[in-house]
Each structure stands twice: as structure tokens, then as C-alpha cells.
């Protein structure tokens, strides 16, 4: 039925008893009409000669009307509301935002009839007014967590969707979102700086690089350390644009700027890079600078995960065409419920295992191995589905015996590699020692294949290329710094260290390194203060100096005994929690545990292994590639900080998103109730 002013008014007048004012307010297209409520049993309808809007409420004294007469502003906080906002909503605003406000005028009595105005499109009494700035802050969080640029909210369809839900919603302009996100970035960055100021141990950094769709080259700088409670900590420091020509010099200057901004250049122990020549050049320059300032030890380390990925790529080279063919078939399986059902039935009939859909089709190592797995473990089922749907899946022919044989050989050869990457991806704390242990195992597998008379020529050629990359990595990590880092893993020690490291004179160098850097500098109260003031040859040695020298020798002996005692004990089992082990044994090795806190924070990879080997990395790459330059630094940094547990804040105010979600939920629920009432 189409409601009009005339029939609505006639219906109301002809009724024996007037409807409640709530019901009248639900009539949509009624012009403002004053209805006076007298003391008689029946309501009296008063139609004034001049229409007017009036609102009497005890809450209005806490709000002031804007000069244009279209809005009211809270005298406490300045929050604005439409002039048509229900007084109950104004009261809720005062209760929620300003508890304790003066309620002395809550009860107002008057014998005269009180005018009540029914306004066109009036809001339902009891509906909670939503602070629309809060909605915009929820959208800010959505943009950050989804890694979307602020321009997303400038799409008209999105703005119209919000208007459809609530016509009063006003989204910020795109530029204001950018401004707010930059303010959040600066505020949270201050928190990161404050956190790093409290770190008492050495820190290590890792570098990662990528290019965006705008052909802008970026570098992320991440810092990690182990805190006093033996918990591993990691935080993204910054995302920098590397200026053209994006070489080693430009990378070095950008990195140096970040280290100085956070005031950690004197505390950096190591830098793990992505194996690129430009990154190596930048790290070498940084080492020369730190060595020149005598700021302590520093070492740069290649990424083991990227090296292993390149080694595996060589192993897959011959079967790549077959893998591509199988991937096309699997994509069809994932997209067709009928085909996937047939595949499941055939695997059950042929007893070819259980397969969970959708099957992974990533072009990364985990997806490639899945393709090999299907051919070797569900070959009959795959052939059956291909034959049944050969007209539907044009170009997908059944694999030839030669192709299946090649896949079988590579699958068997790369199985230890797959198990290794799974262990690396799932390890709680990936240490240098554990990675060297795995890489040594990989090297042995390659050598066995290369030297075996049973290996085909094409596989031997692939193994030769794999061995070259493995030897290159071994050469880069062959130094005292890596040796010391490895043996401080209680699961590795000297027993499981690779032969390439154990063959040198590294153990004695490690003792010297330990004594020079950790026997006294961290325990000044246990050593003499005269160490820096040597007595001239011509003068006699005082009695006090003689005692002091004896104490120094005892101190050095004790320090050496800590390392000797630690290495003399058998390694802990591989499943051992390394940090928990040191937390328990730190009292036994007070000096060595300080060194372990520094060195165990050194990372063997510049990227999380699961991001490199698994499909998770595809999503990260897409987000980075698609992010425009004006949003990359702020959004990706804030997202990383929030995921690390840092609260989102703007300036000095922390944004309480739990409270905002409660308000949004309450508003949505009340809107739903109001809609139901209107429909009834």
C-alpha cells in the first residue's frame, strides 16, 4: 500500500484509540505534525497553523545547536549529531563517553501538555547513535590488515553500499585516510623505538627486497633479539625505497639511515641478506664502517632458504614440462566438483591414498612436489580421470611412460629435500647450527646422486649444478663467527658441526673470541678495574696489582672452563627447545649464556621459510606488488607491528577496537530490530 499524508491522517483520525507515538513514527512519508496530548481520556489532535519542530529533553543542555540549525555538538567532546537525532541517543552518548555528567535535571514535570514532533524519516527511539568517525577507524584497521591502499574506499560502489545500510554514514575523503594512517605509523614507530631502547643484548637484522608494479625497488629491515626471559623477539624496523640505480651503495646508505634512526648501529651483531650481489656489497661496506669505528663484532650471512630453493630448482629442471602439464590437470580437478569426486572414488578403488581438496597448485616448491606426488602415488586415478574427460580438458593427454619414469626418479631423489624443507618450515626457532646440520645433509644427498653409477646422465648433470650452489653456500659460511653461533646451539655443539667447519682451527679461535668479548666486559664487577692501566716497564709491580693480575687469570680460567664444560657434555636431543634449555642452564654458564643470547638471535634466512617454499608466499608477493608507493611503508609496517602485538594508536591515543566493534554490533542489532518492526 502506498502511504500518503491524506490517507495516513484519515486512518489515524478514524480510529477509536490513537496509536502509540512509536507506531506513528514508523510511518515514513508523513509531514511534521504536532500532536498535543492533554489530560482527557482520548487524545486530542491539534493542527497548528504554523509547522514547527521542537524537542524538549534534559540532555539538550549538554549540547549546543550549530548556527545552521542542522546539527548539535556535545559541549564535552565536540562530537556532532544530526538535529534529528533522538534524545535517547544523546543520553547514551553522555553515558558512554562522559560518565558522571550532571543528571540533576533527569526528572522534569509539567502540567501543560508537552509537544512531540513526528518527523519525516524519523529515527527509531532506542536506536544507538553510532559515532561515524569510529566507523572510519574500523575501516582504517581493515585497510591495514588487508594490505589495501586508502584509494580502495574511494570506489563509488563501496560508498553507496554504506549509504544503503545507513544514509547518515559519512566516509572520510581518501586523503584523510592517508593522513590518519601516516599519523598511526609515526605513533607506532615511536613505540618500536622505545622498545629497542630497552633491549640489553646484541641485535641482528635481516634484509628482504622486492619491486612493486610501479617498478619501485623496496627493502625491508627487520630486527630480532632474545630478551631477558629467553623469548625470541622480532620487529620490522622500516620499509625503504631504494633509489635508482638500486645498487649496493644505495642499499648501504638506506640501511645505515635506518640503523641510526633506531640508534642500534653499535649493537648490531649480524645481517642476513638475500644472496644478491648488491646486498652483499652493502653488507660488506657496513662491516668496514663498523670495524673502522671499533663497534664490536659484525658478520653478514647468506640466506640458507634461498640457496636451498635454487638447489631444488636445479633438481626439478628436467621434469618442469611434466609438472606444468600435471598442474593444468589439477587446476581442472579443483574447479570441477564432478571431476574431483571421480578422482576421489578412483583413488579409493585403486587404494592410492586420501587426497584433500582443493589440491595445492602453487608454483613454489610445495606445489611442485605435490604434482610429483600425484603422478607417483595416484597415477592410475589421474589417468582414469584424464581419459574420461579427454574431450572436456583439451590438451591434457595421459602422461607417457617416459614422462612417468622421469617423474618417479626425481620424486625419489628429492624426497629428502622435501622432508628437510618441512622441518625447516615447522621449526620453532631456526638456528644457524640447525640449518648447517640440514644443509650438510643436503650436500651428502647431492654427492651420493652425483657419484652413483645408477644415476642417469641428465640427473647427474642436475646434481652437478646443485653441488656448485651448495659449495658456494658452504664457502660463504666458513668463518669463526658462524662456527661460534653453531656450537652455541646445545643440540649441535661440535659433534654435529659440518666437516667443513670442524676441520679448521675454529675451536681455539672461539675460545679467544669468547674470552675477549664475554669474560670480563659483561662482568666488570668480577674483574679488576686496573686492566686498562698497564704499569710501565721501569716501575715496580705493587702488591695490589699482583693480586689483581691473579684475579684476572682466575676470571679468564673460569670463563674458559665454562666453554670447555659446555662442549664436554653430549648434545641435547634435536627436539629440544633451545631457548628453554639456555634459560634453565644459564646459572651454570653465566658468561656463556650472555654470549648465547646474542648469537642465537642470528637468523640463517632472510625470509620466513614457509613464505618461500609454500603458497603463503604468493599472497605476500601479491600484496607487496600491488601496493602503491604512497601507502607501502605505512600500511605494511603497521600491519607487521599489529601482528607482532603492538597496539594500534594515533598520536597518544590507543584505538580501542574491541569497544568499537561492540558499538558497531549493537547498532547493527538495533537497526535489525527496527527493520523487523517496520516490516510488521
The mean per-residue pLDDT over the stretch 93-100 comes to 75
Q: Are strands 203-211 and 268-272 parallel, antiparallel or unpaired?
A: parallel
How far is the CA of 418 from the CAs of 308, 544, 589, in angstroms?
A: 11, 64, 37
Q: Is the dihedral of CA 632, 635, 638, 642 positive or negative?
A: negative
Alpha helices in 213-303 (DSSP H): 248-261, 277-292
d(CA 584, CA 666): 49
For the chain, the average pLDDT equals 81
Which comes out higher in pLDDT, residue 458 or 23?
A: 458
Is pLDDT of 420 > 50?
yes
pLDDT at site 80 = 82
pLDDT category of residue 594 using cuts at 50, 70 and 90: very high
pLDDT at 54 over 80: no
Q: Give the rounded percent of residues in the chain with a pLDDT score beyond 90.
A: 58
Q: What is the 3-state secondary structure (H, E, C) of 501-540?
A: HHCCCHHHHHHHHHHHHHCCCCCHHHCCCCCCCCCCCCCC
pLDDT at 337: 93
pLDDT at residue 662 in the model = 66
Mean pLDDT of the 568-594 span: 95
Fold of the domain spanning 183-303+607-650 = Nucleotidyltransferase; domain 5 (3.30.420)
- Name the more confident of 380 and 294: 380
Closest to 416 in 3D by CA, of 435, 436, 374, 444: 444
For the segment 502-528, the average pLDDT, to the nearest whole number, is: 71
Assess contact for 387 and 398: CB atoms under 8 A: yes
Tell me: the pLDDT tens digits for 177-221? 999 999 999 999 999 999 999 999 999 999 999 999 999 999 999
CA distance 459 to 449: 8
Residue bearing the bigger pLDDT, 603 or 18: 603
DSSP state of 647: P
Location of C-alpha cell 651448495:
470
Phi, psi of 521 (to 5 degrees): -60, -30
Distance of CA 86 to the CA centre of its chain: 42
Alpha carbon of 533 to those of 203, 518, 528, 529, 530: distances in Å?
A: 31, 20, 11, 9, 5
Whose CA is closest to 127, among 680, 677, 671? 671
Inform me whether the pLDDT recorded for 285 exceeds 90: yes
| Domain assignments of the chain as residue spans, ordered by start | 132-179+654-671, 183-303+607-650, 309-430, 457-518+571-603
Between CA 495 and CA 256 the distance in angstroms is: 38
pLDDT one-digit tens code per residue, 105-158: 443 333 333 333 333 333 443 334 445 677 888 899 999 999 999 999 888 888
The helix/strand/coil state of 536 is coil
For 385, the grid coordinates are: 580421470
Q: Are 225 and 205 in contact (CB under 8 A)?
A: no
Cβ burial of 676 (10 Å; 0-12, 13-18, 19+) is: exposed
Strands 63-65 and 71-74 turn out to be antiparallel
pLDDT score, position 520: 61
The pLDDT of residue 8 is 36
Residue that is written with C-alpha cell 608454483 in the block = 363
Average pLDDT over residues 655-674: 61
In Å, how far from its chain's centre is CA 329?
33
The rounded distance, in Å, linking the Cα atoms of 645 and 13 is 63
CA distance 252 to 205: 13
H or E element at residue 497: none
d(CA 433, CA 563): 17
The three grid cell numbers given for residue 154, joined into one nine-digit string: 574511494
Give the pLDDT confidence score for residue 3 in this predicted structure.
40
Contact in structure between 90 and 123 (CB atoms under 8 Å):
no
* Grid cell at residue 361: 597448485
What confidence tens digit (pLDDT) does each residue in 479-498 have? 999 999 999 999 999 999 99
Q: pLDDT band for position 349 (50/70/90)?
A: very high
Percent of the chain whose pLDDT exceeds 70:
76
Is-cis flag, bond preceding 9, omega within 30? no
Amino acid at each position: 500500500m502506498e502511504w500518503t499524508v491524506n490517507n495516513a491522517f484519515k486512518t489515524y483520525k478514524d480510529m477509536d484509540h490513537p496509536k502509540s507515538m512509536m507506531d506513528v513514527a514508523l510511518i515514513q512519508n508523513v509531514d511534521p505534525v504536532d500532536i498535543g496530548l492533554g489530560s482527557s481520556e482520548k487524545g486530542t489532535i491539534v493542527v497548528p497553523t504554523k509547522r514547527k519542530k521542537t524537542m524538549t529533553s534534559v540532555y539538550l543542555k549538554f549540547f549546543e545547536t550549530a548556527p545552521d540549525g542542522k546539527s548539535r555538538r556535545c559541549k564535552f567532546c565536540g562530537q556532532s549529531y544530526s538535529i534529528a537525532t533522538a534524545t535517547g541517543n544523546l543520553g547514551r552518548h553522555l553515558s558512554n563517553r562522559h560518565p558522571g555528567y550532571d543528571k540533576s535535571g533527569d526528572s522534569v514535570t509539567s502540567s501543560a501538555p508537552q509537544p512531540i514532533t513526528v518527523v519525516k524519516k524519523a529515527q527509531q527511539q532506542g536506536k544507538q547513535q553510532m559515532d561515524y568517525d569510529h566507523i572510519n577507524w574500523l575501516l582504517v584497521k581493515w585497510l591495514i590488515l588487508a594490505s589495501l591502499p586508502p584509494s580502495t574506499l574511494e570506489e563509488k560502489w563501496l560508498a553507496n553500499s554504506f549509504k544503503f545500510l545507513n544514509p547518515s554514514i559519512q566516509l572520510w575523503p581518501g586523503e584523510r585516510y592517508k593522513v590518519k594512517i601516516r599519523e598511526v605509523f609515526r605513533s607506532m614507530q615511536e613505540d618500536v623505538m622505545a622498545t629497542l631502547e630497552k633491549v640489553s643484548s646484541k641485535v641482528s637484522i635481516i634484509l628482504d627486497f622486492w619491486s612493486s608494479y610501479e617498478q619501485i625497488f623496496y627493502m625491508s629491515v627487520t630486527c630480532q633479539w632474545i630478551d631477558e626471559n629467553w623469548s625470541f623477539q622480532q620487529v620490522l624496523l622500516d620499509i625503504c625505497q631504494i633509489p635508482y640505480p638500486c645498487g649496493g651503495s644505495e642499499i648501504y646508505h638506506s640501511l645505515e639511515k635506518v640503523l641510526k634512526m633506531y640508534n642500534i648501529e653499535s649493537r648490531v651483531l649480524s645481517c642476513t641478506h638475500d644472496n644478491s650481489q648488491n646486498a652483499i656489497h652493502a653488507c660488506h661496506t657496513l662491516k668496514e664502517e663498523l670495524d673502522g669505528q671499533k663497534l664490536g663484532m659484525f658478520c653478514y650471512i647468506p640466506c640458507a632458504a634461498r640457496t636451498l630453493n635454487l638447489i631444488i630448482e636445479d633438481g626439478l629442471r628436467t621434469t618442469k614440462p611434466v609438472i606444468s602439464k600435471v598442474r593444468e590437470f589439477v587446476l581442472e580437478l579443483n574447479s570441477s566438483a564432478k571431476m574431483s569426486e571421480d578422482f576421489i572414488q578412483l583413488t579409493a578403488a585403486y587404494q592410492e591414498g586420501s587426497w584433500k581438496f582443493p589440491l595445492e597448485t602453487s608454483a613454489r616448491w610445495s606445489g611442485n612436489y605435490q604434482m610429483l606426488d600425484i603422478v607417483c602415488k595416484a597415477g592410475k586415478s589421474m589417468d582414469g580421470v584424464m581419459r574420461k574427460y579427454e574431450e572436456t580438458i583439451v590438451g591434457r593427454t595421459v602422461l607417457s611412460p617416459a614422462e612417468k619414469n622421469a617423474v618417479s626418479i626425481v620424486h625419489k631423489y628429492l624426497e629428502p629435500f622435501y622432508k628437510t624443507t618441512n622441518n625447516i618450515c615447522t621449526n620453532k626457532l631456526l638456528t644457524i647450527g640447525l640449518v648447517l646440520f640440514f644443509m650438510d645433509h643436503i650436500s651428502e644427498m647431492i654427492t651420493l646422486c652425483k657419484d652413483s653409477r645408477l644415476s642417469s646422465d641428465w640427473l647427474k648433470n642436475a646434481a652437478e649444478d646443485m653441488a656448485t650452489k651448495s659449495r658456494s653456500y658452504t664457502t660463504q659460511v666458513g668463518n669463526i663467527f658462524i662456527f661460534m653461533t653453531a656450537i652455541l646451539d646445545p643440540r649441535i655443539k661440535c659433534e654435529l658441526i659440518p666437516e667443513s667447519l670442524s676441520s679448521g682451527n675454529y675451536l681455539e679461535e672461539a675460545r679467544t673470541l669468547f674470552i675477549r668479548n664475554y669474560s670480563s666486559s659483561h662482568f666488570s664487577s668480577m674483574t679488576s678495574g686496573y686492566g686498562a692501566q698497564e704499569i710501565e716497564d721501569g716501575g715496580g709491580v705493587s702488591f695490589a696489582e699482583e693480586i689483581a693480575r691473579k684475579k684476572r687469570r682466575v676470571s679468564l680460567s673460569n670463563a674458559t672452563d665454562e666453554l670447555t664444560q659446555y662442549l664436554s657434555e653430549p648434545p641435547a636431543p634435536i627436539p629440544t627447545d633451545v631457548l628453554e634449555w639456555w634459560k634453565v642452564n644459564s646459572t651454570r654458564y653465566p658468561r656463556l649464556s650472555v654470549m648465547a643470547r646474542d648469537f642465537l638471535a642470528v637468523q640463517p634466512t632472510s625470509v620466513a621459510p614457509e613464505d618461500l617454499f609454500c603458497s603463503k608466499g604468493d599472497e605476500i608477493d601479491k600484496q607487496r606488488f600491488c601496493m602503491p608507493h604512497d601507502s607501502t611503508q605505512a600500511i605494511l609496517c603497521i600491519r607487521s607491528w599489529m601482528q607482532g602485538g603492538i597496539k594500534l594508536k594515533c598520536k597518544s591515543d590507543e584505538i580501542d577496537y574491541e569497544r568499537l566493534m561492540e558499538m558497531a554490533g549493537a547498532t547493527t542489532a538495533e537497526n535489525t530490530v527496527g527493520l523487523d518492526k517496520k516490516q510488521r
